[in-house]
Structure 1
Amino acid sequence: SSLYQPLAMRWGERDFKFIRPIHWIAALCGSKIVKFTLAGIKSSNKTEGHRYLKLKAQSSKIKNAELLSYKKLLLKLGVIVDQTERRAMIREKVAAIAKRSKAEALVEEELLDEVTFLVENPIAYVGKFNQEFLSLPQDVLVTSMQKNQKYFPMVDNAGKPIARFVVVTDGCKNPGVVEGNQKVLSARLSDARFFFEEDKKLPLKVRVADLERIAFFEKLGTVSHKVERIGKLSEWMGKRFGLEEEGIKIARRIAELCKADLTTKMVYEFPELQGIMGKEYALLSGENPRVAQGIFEHYLPRYAGDKVPQSMEGTAVALADRIDSLVGCFSVGAVPTGSEDPYGLRRAVHGIIRIVLEKKINLFLDEVIEHGYKLYEPVFLGYLFEKGETGYQDFPKIKKQIFDFVAGRYRPMLLDKHIRYDVVEAVLFDCNDILDCGEKAEVLNKLVSEDWLKGVVKSADRISRIAKGAPREEVMEADLIDKEEKDLFDLYMKINWEVGEAINQENWEKAAHSLAKLTDPIELFFEKVLVMHENEKLKINRLALLRSLEKLYRQFADFGKIVI
């Protein structure tokens, strides 16, 4: 089969692989059986019912390949075919049980989806655990129930956990199932309490030294090395964000401690709690609450729809961590391919873009990538000294790859905002300033249907095609002899200043209107002035004028990519 199966296994003595054992195959076209044999199983019109429900009818023949009748038949056999229906049933049952307990169930959508596909006939029960476990941090309790046991935790009106949960079983109405689940959860929470008490014995700052024993990535040193780079990069960015000395000091401390919880037993058992436990242990160790909050925030956003860091110190460390991973992985050629992203680089770039956009940060990629690369140089040199080879990519290549990678992740985000594809391409030709890219895209998308902007597009595209052969950009004013080229140069100087001012004010609509003032003079220039003059000096100077105009247009976008 060409169906992609990441967990395909071989069942029985045959070589055929599938994600689960195949017990029967029902295959019909209309009322006729589609005959074939797969993995030693012959197709038929017979299907089986629910495995655990003791119904009179355990199997049945399908008369016709019609969806509605198939669903009704399976329902008689104890199977609810429609996953949307099962999902709604689970949500309703869980909410009803929580209401009877005068509480609210925490229904995470991802868990709801998972449970929906774990059961064919959902039955919900309330379970209990010992009150003493409520002394554990809330995230530990919730994670133990949601991630490990697939339970739905309950909270009171104040949002605090109570010692109850909802478990969804597959058609099983045996009360003993609840007791079994309670025992399993109790054991899991006992382990978590042990980990928590053991972890508290060491202050977080003492754990930093243990990061030297954790490898970050082949050829890129340890997590201890990474933490040192994050600290320097956070300080560098903090200064550019306008953080005062106290804020920079906080950012450095966050960076120093941000990965220390990776050495704890709790995070080893529950990796999804990294950052969360870092904050908890930092507070227990007497760290500044701003430091503790920053340790948690530097992992944000963790997934689509998650919040971004609120503090600027946490923001600086969050960006530094992601930039460091990007630069390091691209340096050793660990570039995501296809749908695979084993090092989380797509998620890292998505996080960078969201942070920059939502925090309104003008982050220049070329600067931060170069600074991040320089911080890796001691690691590169150490590897060269030890192995006698580098195995690292050159910086210009890395820079281009990262720019292309960022543009590739930014593109669907802009398209999701219903921005035209050609407008997206026009602004992404240079995504050095992510925030400006987004703002330009929205303004250009609003104006692109205006007649005057179409004039801008035509002028910019014409100039770009001719200016490619320009040997220089500097215009020699003394070599401008025709009135039209002199007037165009004077106007260029004025508009160049206007556009620069508008960009400084991040007023992209004003910049676009300024560019529109060039349209008629450019048309007159091409009508009256011969660019490719036989006099080489005049030709080069006129090409230089066009190159300067092209550069001016490109401060906004590559207008040649816009379709009119």
Structure 2
Amino acid sequence: MLNALLEIGCEEIPARFMPGFLEDLKKKAEEKLTAERISFGKMETLGTYRRLTLYIENIAQRQTDLSFEAKGPPANVAFDKQGKPTPAAIGFAKKQGLSLDDLKVESNYVVGRVLKKGLPTSKILQTAFPEIIVSLYQPLSMRWGSEEFKFIRPIHWVVGLLGDQVVKFAIAGVKSGDKTQGHRYKQKSRKAEKLIANISKYRKALKNLGVIVDQKERKVLIKNQVEQAARKIKQRAVIDPLLLDEVTYLVESPIAYLGRFEPSFLKIPQEVLITSMQKNQKYFPVVDQQQKLQPAFVVVTDGSHSARVVEGNQKVLSARLADAKFFFDEDRQKPFANKVTALAEIGFFEGLGSLKDKVERMSKLAEWLGKRLGLSPEEQYTALRIVLLCKADLTTKMVYDFPVLQGVMGREYALLSGEDARVANGIFEHYLPRFSGDGLPKQRESVVVALADRFDSLVGCFCLGAIPTGSTDPYGLRRAANGIIKIIQGQQLNLLLSETIEHSYKLYEPLLKGKTAKALPAVQGELLAFIAARLKQLLLDDGQRYDIVEAALSRFNDVLDVLNKTKALTACLAKAWFAGVIASADRVARLAKNATRDEVIEADLLEPAEKELNSLYLKINWSVGEAINQENWPKALEELAPLTGPIENFFNQILVMHKDERIRTNRLALLKSLDRLYRQVADLPKIILANEK
């Protein structure tokens, strides 16, 4: 077996797209080779901002032969009355590469066994490689020259190899070859390196040209160099994982240097300095053992050995920090609370008013939520003060220049203006969680404001039909829904979502008069389904079983109920009685859908088995209701177990679909009552038992 290599050399690809590109390259290559019946061993992707590389080990030299039965025309069309083949049979045989003797008749049709011999892999790759390139997902794309072909950046060279032989093809006017290009600034006059499809030799060849092509190796090297640079002054570098990933794809030949800035800039809040270094300059800040920021940073250059590069970076950072100091000083010229009036000049969402309008709605919703969740009068006062100030920092110069600091600067400016510490902290906490894995608000007042903010945004956008579709979410609504779920989970809050949505909707009604907006029932239905979908995905990501989650989401209106139901249902899988409960619920549901009446008339229950079942139902319906009221889902599920035997007796002894309509209707009503009881707990028929898989 041979190895294969594909390298796409192009102009600089934005670092943020590289991980997805490499993942997609591997995925598309696996799909293509599998579809082409070419077996292969290990497959990996390597890359820098200038090259995307696919390496395939132990690739078969030929496609696997394909044998299949081809179906032709009907027998009476393929053969005449004398049994002689007609042009239809002759044409079918010729098309499939068969002789007339290979044809036979099955189920009144002509069929023939076709053996399609596999082609050489070298030939298949001539079309497979360019097709893989064309199929790559393009977050951004461009044309260049006279080519109609679009790619994320112009392609300058392509390497295509099977062993030591070139796989010949062309894409975007560039012909494939066996020579790569090295580092743009370190290569100088050296000739391009000739390659063969061997991963260790490929890595070595690129190193000779000043490129560390393996992103994993590059990442480790950067981390070690950054840590070593900070240790030179006996301090430690702050290595943010996301920044490390980004820098990994910003360089081909990393060299880290220690830089410094004026200690006077340390008067600016630490978060501002760190944000400026990480987000704007892609530097690694340096702190002491107490996490206090030091007047130093580490910059990772792309192959530069000149000390002058440090001087240049120091000048750039000093200019950025001087701007930050100016913004900080300017923002403090007036009390923080005075900035609230400027929110009237900032639009929240087209058709939904200004940020001032949003804050006013949030205040009323937060007050209602505070009462609903049991906040004390003191906590309510603090929550309303947080709402008043929570968006004020959006009017500041600092947040305008560093949007990621919203909330952070609000907290800082509030403290400097003499606001209570809980108010200041609430301004920051109401944005939590900002991303997956982020912290949650801890103060009860912050929780109320965080929920009010997210519900207001979701309800407003859903009123106007601004609902996320596909992978796009321009208004962060999925993040808002995830935040609601995480906050409720973290605080163990029982909150009826439909009730909260209704209250938020009513706050929008004065603004929506005369506008095309959805009615409350539509908004409730769509938004509940939207939050349910986010909750479902979060539970699946957490490793929960799909069928259990589906069952727990029945009659969804309370996040905490679903979380607790999921836990209870999962625990019940190990219980001996649970299989009987599932089977009974499923059997009942199948017939209950035919019921035309809800009420069971006891006088029309004729047989002992149906009388016994109805009597037990009335008793268990009460006990299950009590367990649900206490939110004791394990007990509610266990209370259903005694129904299993009587339900089995009922179906064994009773003809449900009796010819007498009165008897039939009453028996179906009994089953509908049982079905309603089961579904109060969960949609149990959705659960798949082990022996059903």
TM-aligned CA distance change 1:454 to 1:95, over 3 Å: same
Q: 2:641 matched to 1:525?
A: no
Q: CA offsets, 1:132-162, max 9 Å, x none? A: 1101111101100000000000111111111
Q: What amino acid is the match of 2:616?
A: L
Question: Equivalent residue of 1:455, what SS?
Answer: helix
Structure with the higher strand share, 1 or 2: 2
Q: What amino acid is the match of 1:353?
A: I
Q: How does 1:111-190 map to 2 (within 5 A)?
A: 111-190=243-322
Give the whole-Å Cα distance in 2 for the aligned partners of 1:225 and 1:543.
53
Give the whole-Å Cα distance in 1 for the aligned partners of 2:172 and 2:542.
47
- Residue 516 of structure 2 corresponds to 391
Give the whole-Å Cα distance in 2 for the aligned partners of 1:343 and 1:526.
53
Instruction: Decide which of 192, 209, 226 is 2:358's aligned counterpart.
Output: 226
Give the whole-Å Cα distance in 2 for the aligned partners of 1:291 and 1:544.
56
- Residue 287 of structure 1 corresponds to 419
Q: How does 1:48-447 map to 2 (within 5 A)?
A: 48-53=181-186, 57-62=190-195, 64-381=196-513, 384=514, 390-447=515-572
Question: Equivalent residue of 2:681, what SS?
Answer: coil
TM-superposed CA distance for 1:189, in Å, is 0.5
Conserved? CA contact 1:7–1:19, under 8 Å: yes
Q: 2:633 matched to 1:500?
A: no
Question: Equivalent residue of 1:518, what SS?
Answer: helix
Conserved? CA contact 2:554–2:679, under 8 Å: no
TM-superposed CA distance for 1:481, in Å, is 4.2
Q: What amino acid is the match of 1:52?
A: Y
- Residue 39 of structure 1 corresponds to 172
Question: Equivalent residue of 1:124, what SS?
Answer: strand
TM-superposed CA distance for 1:512, in Å, is 1.3
Per the normalisation by structure 2, the TM-score is 0.77
Q: 2:155 matched to 1:22?
A: yes
Q: CA offsets, 1:518-554, max 9 Å, x none? A: 1112222233334334444444333333222212211
Give the whole-Å Cα distance in 1 for the aligned partners of 2:355 and 2:236.
40
Q: CA offsets, 1:106-130, max 9 Å, x none? A: 1111100000000111100001000
- Residue 387 of structure 1 corresponds to none
Give the whole-Å Cα distance in 2 for the aligned partners of 1:314 and 1:128.
38
TM-superposed CA distance for 1:417, in Å, is 2.7
Give the whole-Å Cα distance in 2 for the aligned partners of 1:490 and 1:249.
53
TM-superposed CA distance for 1:340, in Å, is 0.8
Question: Equivalent residue of 2:258, what SS?
Answer: strand
Give the whole-Å Cα distance in 1 for the aligned partners of 2:147 and 2:653.
81
Q: CA offsets, 1:2-36, max 9 Å, x none? A: 32222323334544433233222222222222223
Give the whole-Å Cα distance in 1 for the aligned partners of 2:382 and 2:666.
54
Q: CA offsets, 1:260-312, max 9 Å, x none? A: 11111111101111111111111112212111111111110001110110011
Over the matched positions of the two proteins, sequence identity in percent amounts to 57
Give the whole-Å Cα distance in 2 for the aligned partners of 1:473 and 1:253.
51
TM-aligned CA distance change 1:58 to 1:173, over 3 Å: farther
- Residue 545 of structure 1 corresponds to 670
- Residue 62 of structure 2 corresponds to none
Give the whole-Å Cα distance in 2 for the aligned partners of 1:505 and 1:426.
20
TM-superposed CA distance for 1:54, in Å, is 5.3
Question: Equivalent residue of 2:473, what SS?
Answer: coil
Q: What amino acid is the match of 2:181?
A: E
Question: Equivalent residue of 2:676, what SS?
Answer: helix
Q: What amino acid is the match of 1:343?
A: Y
TM-superposed CA distance for 1:102, in Å, is 1.7
Question: Equivalent residue of 1:255, what SS?
Answer: helix
Per the normalisation by structure 1, the TM-score is 0.95
Give the whole-Å Cα distance in 1 for the aligned partners of 2:145 and 2:324.
39
Q: How does 1:456-495 map to 2 (within 5 A)?
A: 456-495=581-620
Question: Equivalent residue of 1:457, what SS?
Answer: helix
TM-aligned CA distance change 1:58 to 1:231, over 3 Å: farther
Q: CA offsets, 1:348-396, max 9 Å, x none? A: 1111111111111112111111111111111111xx1xxxxx3212222
Q: What amino acid is the match of 1:408?
A: A
Instruction: Decide which of 117, 121, 140 is 1:7's aligned counterpart.
Output: 140
TM-aligned CA distance change 1:472 to 1:249, over 3 Å: farther
Deviates most, 443-452 or 223-232:
443-452
Question: Equivalent residue of 2:577, what SS?
Answer: helix
TM-aligned CA distance change 1:421 to 1:206, over 3 Å: same
Q: What amino acid is the match of 2:168?
A: K
Question: Equivalent residue of 1:18, what SS?
Answer: coil
TM-superposed CA distance for 1:56, in Å, is 7.0
Question: Equivalent residue of 1:153, what SS?
Answer: strand
Give the whole-Å Cα distance in 1 for the aligned partners of 2:383 and 2:220.
45
Unaligned runs of 5+ residues in structure 1 are 385-389
TM-superposed CA distance for 1:516, in Å, is 0.7
TM-superposed CA distance for 1:209, in Å, is 1.4
The number of aligned residues is 556
Question: Equivalent residue of 1:10, what SS?
Answer: coil
Question: Equivalent residue of 1:4, what SS?
Answer: coil
Give the whole-Å Cα distance in 1 for the aligned partners of 2:555 and 2:203.
53
Aligned CA-pair RMSD: 1.8
Conserved? CA contact 2:187–2:209, under 8 Å: no
Unaligned runs of 5+ residues in structure 2 are 1-133
Give the whole-Å Cα distance in 1 for the aligned partners of 2:224 and 2:320.
27
Deviates most, 534-543 or 256-265:
534-543
Conserved? CA contact 2:187–2:210, under 8 Å: no
Question: Equivalent residue of 1:27, what SS?
Answer: strand
Q: 2:637 matched to 1:512?
A: yes
Deviates most, 20-29 or 94-103:
20-29
Question: Equivalent residue of 2:211, what SS?
Answer: coil
Deviates most, 160-169 or 466-475:
466-475
Deviates most, 7-16 or 436-445:
7-16
Give the whole-Å Cα distance in 2 for the aligned partners of 1:123 and 1:205.
47
Give the whole-Å Cα distance in 2 for the aligned partners of 1:133 and 1:477.
84
Instruction: Decide which of 579, 582, 605 is 1:454's aligned counterpart.
Output: 579
Structure whose CA Rg is larger: 2
Conserved? CA contact 1:238–1:248, under 8 Å: yes
Conserved? CA contact 1:460–1:559, under 8 Å: yes
Give the whole-Å Cα distance in 1 for the aligned partners of 2:583 and 2:308.
76
TM-aligned CA distance change 1:128 to 1:411, over 3 Å: same
Deviates most, 285-294 or 190-199:
285-294
